[in-house]
Structure 1
Amino acid sequence: MALRVVEWSTGTVGRHAIAGIDAHPDLELVGVWVSNPDKVGKDAGELAGLGRELGVRATSDRDALIALKPDCIVHTAMTDDRVMESIEDLIWFVENGVNVVSSGPVVLQFPFGILPDSLLERIEKAGAASGASLHVNGIDPGFANDVLPLSMTSLSQRIDEVRCQEIADYSTYYQPVVMRDLFGFGQPMDTTPLLLSPGILSMGWGSVVRQIAAGLGVTLDEPLVERVERVAADRDYSTVSVEIPEGTMAALRFEVVGQVNGVDRVVLEHYTRTHPDQCPQWPRPNSGDGCYRILISGEPEMAVEFGHHGENGDHNVSGMIVTAMRLVNSVPAVVEAHAGLVTALDLPLITGRGLVARG
């Protein structure tokens, strides 16, 4: 019998999640939540751009969706600008006995040592009382810097450093709040965007570093180390999310570093351009406009580059798809998992079972 699923939001990730749920043979879409009043009453197929109706109408009534008694909620609502409020939403789902897979807040990917113990205890108590599980994942933070690098380390004889890189051109990435307010693109160079406020990088991507360390049985120095390089625009640039006048911030490189006895051992590194011409001294993908690159120093030296692009060739569109599908395809495993918070270290191999094209 198919698992009953509610999709929570229909934005840049949610619309792809709807398509993925509809395509998955073990899942049945039974409800859709929307925040925009203009979307209420519209069919899920229309909201997902499928060109056909699915017979499920969107609603903003949270209680009505919980009353459907879904097996799982696929939660893809924006959380970057409402971290604590969205955590309360996720806890509420679990308290009501509904399993959840969510794209955020990303700190919940592996929150140990980052969020207060009291908050984590609330999630565990809610799961113990209701039997429901909560799993946060995606592509980054997510598969590209948890399952992929940890799988590679199974080939190692000695590990000196694990480095997970995102190398990407964000010019076609449509998330105005993220691009302008979180990253600070298009803002004056003397402005400190939210992402670069003290400790925020370690909160946002520290979960990646800490989970890899946990998977390797390593105890890291505290606190994590943050390194940042900001680059001003040498001319005016235009992206789908923000305008970037000359002299404002146009590119960003940062590292979140886990050290052992003062030596870098686990590193999360991002190279973010807003135009392909920027920062020629920085690494570039071997092909396409963006990639994830895993570098493992030791014996042997290993490197894997993971790229993706949609049918239209755009890697930012496919970035939304892979984020959505990592969640959708994990639903059966999360439903079967232990109650409470579930990390990638707790789950079995997740595959695209049932998704091979027919005809």
Structure 2
Amino acid sequence: IGTGLTPEEFHQKISKKEITGHVGLIQSIQLISAALGLEYERIIESPPKEVITKREFTTSYGELVPEGFVCGLQSKIYATIGGLEIISLDFVAYAGEHDEYDSILIDGIPKIHQKIIGGVHGDLGTSAMVLNLIPKVIEAKSGLLTMLELPVPCNTENIWKNGSNK
């Protein structure tokens, strides 16, 4: 995500594709629109932008990041129809002291705003999805399937707080 780089170094690494931002945002827009039955005319993805630290801090790896240096990045993408933004994704990842959360806003009836305090750790969330989908995938038809063709993943074990099954 570019933590510890100068803004100039960040831009060089972005242009050389050494830093890519979040991978898969276009596919996420496509899958969301397919799941909701929404048609779109264009998908517009902005190049990743740097997030600049406002004060010096030390990362969890013990590296000092001075004020004015890069502490992370932001990637934005949206789908439009008739110039109207119908789906947008905003990915922000940066180091330092801040409130971590994942947020979903659905502007509909009713309007839904879900905020997951602490966020969902990407690697843990992905591995949990894979593990909980194993029984569903075994029962699925053969071929290349998307999440639209598989049942909703759910917990496959009855695990109690003490870690034992009852």
TM-score if structure 1 supplies the norm length? 0.39
**Displacement of 1:346:** 0.8
Picking from 126, 138, 161, the partner of 1:323 is 126
Aligned residues: 157
The residue number in structure 1 matching 2:108 is 298
Picking from 86, 97, 102, the partner of 1:276 is 97
User: Stretches of 4+ moved more than 6 A in 1?
Assistant: none
Instruction: In structure 2, list runs of 5 or more residues that go unmatched.
Output: none
Picking from 52, 60, 68, the partner of 1:247 is 68
Query: Given the superposition, is the C-alpha separation of residues 302 and 227 from structure 1 closer, same or farther in structure 2, using an over 3 Å criterion?
Result: farther
**Displacement of 1:305:** 2.0
Alignment partners' CA distance in 2, 1:248 and 1:232: 5
Query: Given the superposition, is the C-alpha separation of residues 250 and 201 from structure 1 closer, same or farther in structure 2, using an over 3 Å criterion?
Result: closer
Alignment partners' CA distance in 2, 1:321 and 1:220: 32
* Kept in 1: contact 2:3–2:72 (CA 8 A): yes
Alignment partners' CA distance in 2, 1:330 and 1:196: 36
Alignment partners' CA distance in 2, 1:207 and 1:201: 14
* Kept in 2: contact 1:231–1:252 (CA 8 A): yes
TM-score if structure 2 supplies the norm length? 0.76
Q: More helix per residue: 1 or 2?
A: 1
Considering Cα pairs closer than 8 Å and 6+ residues apart, tell me whether 1 or 2 has the greater RCO.
1
Alignment partners' CA distance in 2, 1:195 and 1:296: 33
Instruction: In structure 1, list runs of 5 or more residues that go unmatched.
Output: 1-182, 278-288, 310-314
Alignment partners' CA distance in 1, 2:87 and 2:114: 16
**Displacement of 1:348:** 0.8
SS of the residue corresponding to residue 321 of structure 1 reads helix
The residue number in structure 2 matching 1:339 is 142
SS of the residue corresponding to residue 86 of structure 2 reads strand
Alignment partners' CA distance in 2, 1:217 and 1:338: 23
Q: What is the RMSD computed on CA atoms of the aligned residues?
A: 2.9
Spell out, residue by residue over 1:281-322, the C-alpha distance to the aligned partner (whole angstroms, 9 max, x if none).
xxxxxxxx422211011322111223458xxxxx75xx5433
Alignment partners' CA distance in 1, 2:54 and 2:118: 29
* Kept in 2: contact 1:205–1:268 (CA 8 A): yes
Alignment partners' CA distance in 2, 1:196 and 1:263: 32
Picking from 232, 244, 256, the partner of 2:52 is 232
Query: Given the superposition, is the C-alpha separation of residues 184 and 291 from structure 1 closer, same or farther in structure 2, using an over 3 Å criterion?
Result: same
* Kept in 1: contact 2:21–2:73 (CA 8 A): no
Quick check: 1:349 aligned with 2:159? no
Quick check: 1:256 aligned with 2:74? no
